[in-house]
Structures are given as structure tokens and as C-alpha cells.
């Protein structure tokens, strides 16, 4: 297996955790390269369900090395809780999990500022986990990294300076209480003690692995339309969820990446605010949400649901350089008499074949649909492409033709076994 990047090609929640779990047995290293514990990757193994927010999904496979790269922002409390959860289920991470010294650390003031800004400025739809404010500190060059956390003198100095600024901001702008240095310092020095054994220079580890012809799987979080540069800005996350983030978020050069695989649902969902041209009407929304269990793995928020939007996915294919597509949750559409696929947008007398960058235009766009017959048969027990209903295969063929990108895998349920090749 070559070095592969797995990306979400819609607004996240496409089923990346399951797909990573499928590809992981053929990889040597599995690497998270962006985002934080605002992600939620779910893997179902038999009767057990694992929801991972920071640790790569490949940790569920024995012998695999998992890396949290420099592009990830890390809440130490959340990471340690995740480690404890895995250990309690008999999955050891010691000697298998490595955390980048260059990753930035989330503090309580990041979460507080996230919450305050969301309430004061109007909703973006953040998870209020402190992700955005932490990335803002990183870009402003005032962030505290893992390496700083492990150096007591540096931590004291940086934390004291940062708290002066953050407490003043909380008080003067949001009329909120700040944080006490001593309590925060004690809490985070304890995290440093517990995380030290996992921390190293992951850039060196990964590039040395590539030199030895080891196989690396890069695990993206969120989705392309939530990318801070290429998504529906400002209704986006604060990192590069596209394939390019795999290089900047790990220190592995782009020439060392061989393939990009995009994950899409057979329909479309998004969480939070922002334009969504193909959104279902309420009755169908509730039906699909219930059948697809469309509630956030991180927040539990109900997801908005809509028809498959090929304009969104063609945009993702382009900006990620996607080579192959995996389609998930085909089974959720089993009961529908007919299906729609968005093939363009109309707005103010104009027809759009490409994704508009102007958010005002996107908000006013009306989708142009092709209608296809539904199959109205249960697909959850199907184990090969040839056994799919006639119209399910027609639906997939049409999507593949519109995207001009090969579909390689199809998922018809949450379990590992409910996945088969398009071949």
C-alpha cells in the first residue's frame, strides 16, 4: 500500500473513521494531521463502538503506530481520557502512540473564549472545544506547544504572559471571570508529567519511516467544505482539512504522498450554521436523520441532511486531488421511491457548474437536480457490488460519471463487514 491521505469530501461526518479502520491493516503508521477533539471518528467492531476524537482510528489494530501530528491542537485532558478509555477496553497505546512536540495545547481560556465569542457575535456553529482560539494563538505566535508544556521554566513564563492578556480580554470584552495562574499551572504540569512518555519529534519519526519504505495512512478530520481556505468561510473549522494539510500538519513533503481517497455519504449532511443548498424539507430530514443516526459523535447535535450535491464533491475532488471515492451510508436511502442528485446551482439568472466562493451567492443558490429511481430494497446484508439492487448500482454509476472519479468502496452499514469493493 502506498502513502495515502483519507479526506472527507463534504462537510465532515462522512464515515472516515470506518474507512481508516478498513485501510489500517495495510498501513504501518496512521497519522492525524489537523483539527482537535472537535472531531469524532466512530468505528464499530461487532457489538463494540469506539468514538475517537484525537487518537487515530488505527490504534484499534494491534502493532500499528499512531501519530498525532504538529498540525493538531491538543486538549491534554481529552487526550488522557481517550487513552484511559482505550486501556480500559484492553487496547494498549504505550509504545504505539506518539505526540508531536510541535502540536499546540488547548487551555481552559481557549474554551471560554470560544463559548463567549459564539454567544456574542452570532453563531458559526463551533463545538466550543477551544479549537479556533487555539489556532488563532498559533497564528499570532503566542501559542503554547507540547514542547513548552514539558519545559517547566518556559511553561511558567508563557502561561503567565498569556493569562494576563486572556484575563483582561475576558473581563473587558466579555465581562467574564478569568483564570488563576497557580491552579492552571498545577493542572497542566500534571498533564505534562503524564504525557511525557508519548511525546517526541514526530517529523523525524515519519520521514525515517518513509525512508525505510513503511506505509503511512494520513487521517483527516472534518471535511473539505469545512477547510479554512476552501470551505464555506466563515462557517468552517480553523485548520486545513484538505489533503494539503497532511504535509503541513506532519512535516512530510507532498512528493512523499502517493494517493488521496475522498469519503462521501450517498447523501449530504452538515452540522452547525452555514449555507446548504440541497437541504431536505423537514419531514424527509427527520426520516433520514433517524435512519442514518445523524447526530454528532462529539456534540450529539442533530445533523442537517440533504440530497447528494455533486457540485460540492467536484470541488473537493479538485482541491484535494482526489484519486478515488468511497461511498458510505448507501443503505440509508433504501426506502426512498426516488432520489435526487444536484448537478448545478441557479442564482440571480446565472447557472453555476462550479462551487461559488462568494458566501452570499451560495446562500441564495437554488439546486438543479437530476432525478433517479429508488431501489426500495434492503441493502444492509449485501456483501458484493454485483448483489446490489439494479437502481442502487445505477445511482452509484451516475455519481461516478458526474464526478469523473472512480468509486472503489461502498458501505451499507456501520460494521466493518458491511463494506465491499466497487470492482
Catalytic residues: 13, 41
Cα distance between residue 246 and residue 263, in whole Å: 16
Burial of 337 (0-12, 13-18, 19+ CB in 10 A): exposed
CA distance 422 to 130: 40
In three-state form (DSSP H/G/I as H, E/B as E, the rest C), the secondary structure along the chain is CCCEEEEECCCCCCCHHHHHHHHHHHCCEEEECCECCCCCEEEEECCEEEEECCCCHHHHCCCCEEEECCCEEECHHHHHHHHHHHHHCCCCCCCCEEEECCCEECCHHHHHHHHHHHHHHCCCCCCCCCHHHHHHHHHCCCCCEHHHHCCHHHHHHHHHHHHHHHHHHHHHHHCCCCCCHHHHHHHHHHHHHHHHHHEECHHHHHHHHHHCCCCEEEECCCCHHHCCCCCCCCCCCCCCCCCCHHHHCCCCCHHHCCEEEEEEECCEEECCCCCCCCECCHHHHHHHHHHHCCECCCCCCECEEECEEHHHHHHHHHHHCCCEEEEECHHHHCCCCEEEEEEEEEECCEEECCCCCCHHHHHHCEEEEEEEECCCCCCCCCCCHHHCCHHHHHHHHHHHHHHCCEEEEEECCCECCCEEECC
Q: Is the peptide bond before 234 cis (omega within 30 degrees of 0)?
A: yes
Q: Is the dihedral of CA 59, 61, 62, 63 positive or negative?
A: negative
6, three cell numbers: 483519507
Cell readout for 380 is 444492509
Task: Say if CB 310 and CB 370 are below 8 A apart.
Answer: no
Amino acid at each position: 500500500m502506498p502513502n495515502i491521505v483519507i479526506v472527507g469530501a463534504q462537510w465532515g461526518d462522512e464515515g472516515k473513521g470506518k474507512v481508516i479502520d478498513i485501510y489500517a491493516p495495510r498501513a504501518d503508521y496512521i497519522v492525524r494531521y489537523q483539527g482537535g477533539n472537535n472531531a469524532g471518528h466512530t468505528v464499530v467492531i461487532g457489538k463494540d463502538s469506539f468514538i475517537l476524537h484525537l487518537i487515530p482510528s488505527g490504534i484499534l489494530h494491534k502493532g500499528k503506530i499512531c501519530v498525532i501530528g504538529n498540525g493538531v491542537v491538543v486538549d491534554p485532558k481529552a487526550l488522557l481520557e481517550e487513552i484511559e478509555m482505550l486501556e480500559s477496553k484492553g487496547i494498549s497505546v504505550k509504545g504505539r502512540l506518539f505526540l508531536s512536540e510541535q502540536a499546540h495545547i488547548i487551555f481552559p481560556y481557549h474554551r471560554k473564549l470560544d463559548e463567549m465569542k459564539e454567544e456574542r457575535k452570532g453563531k458559526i456553529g463551533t463545538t466550543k472545544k477551544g479549537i479556533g482560539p487555539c489556532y488563532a494563538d498559533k497564528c499570532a505566535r503566542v501559542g503554547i506547544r507540547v514542547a513548552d508544556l514539558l519545559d517547566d521554566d518556559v511553561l511558567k513564563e508563557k502561561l503567565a504572559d498569556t493569562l494576563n492578556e486572556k484575563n483582561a480580554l475576558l473581563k473587558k470584552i466579555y465581562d467574564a471571570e478569568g483564570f488563576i495562574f497557580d491552579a492552571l499551572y498545577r493542572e497542566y504540569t500534571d498533564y505534562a508529567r503524564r504525557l511525557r512518555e508519548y511525546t517526541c519529534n514526530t517529523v523525524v519519526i515519519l520521514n525515517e519511516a518513509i525512508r525505510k519504505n513503511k506505509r503511512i495512512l494520513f487521517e483527516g478530520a472534518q471535511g473539505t467544505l469545512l477547510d479554512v481556505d476552501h470551505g464555506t468561510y466563515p462557517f468552517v473549522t480553523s485548520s486545513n482539512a484538505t489533503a494539503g494539510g497532511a504535509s503541513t500538519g506532519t512535516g512530510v513533503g507532498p512528493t512523499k504522498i502517493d494517493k488521496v481517497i475522498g469519503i462521501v455519504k450517498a447523501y449530504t449532511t452538515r452540522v452547525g450554521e452555514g449555507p446548504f443548498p440541497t437541504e431536505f424539507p423537514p419531514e424527509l430530514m427527520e426520516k433520514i436523520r433517524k435512519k442514518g443516526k445523524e447526530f454528532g459523535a462529539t456534540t450529539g447535535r442533530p445533523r442537517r441532511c440533504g440530497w447528494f450535491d455533486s457540485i460540492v464533491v467536484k470541488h473537493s475532488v479538485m482541491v484535494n486531488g482526489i484519486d478515488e471515492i468511497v461511498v458510505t451510508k448507501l443503505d440509508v436511502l433504501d426506502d426512498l421511491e426516488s432520489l435526487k442528485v444536484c448537478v448545478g446551482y441557479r442564482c440571480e439568472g446565472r447557472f453555476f457548474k462550479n462551487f461559488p466562493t462568494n458566501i452570499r451567492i451560495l446562500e441564495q443558490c437554488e439546486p438543479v437536480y437530476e432525478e433517479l429511481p429508488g431501489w426500495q430494497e434492503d441493502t444492509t446484508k449485501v456483501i458484493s457490488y454485483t448483489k446490489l439492487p439494479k437502481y442502487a448500482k445505477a445511482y452509484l454509476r451516475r455519481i461516478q460519471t458526474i464526478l469523473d472519479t472512480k468509486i472503489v468502496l461502498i458501505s451499507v452499514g456501520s460494521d466493518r463487514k458491511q463494506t465491499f469493493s466497487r470492482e
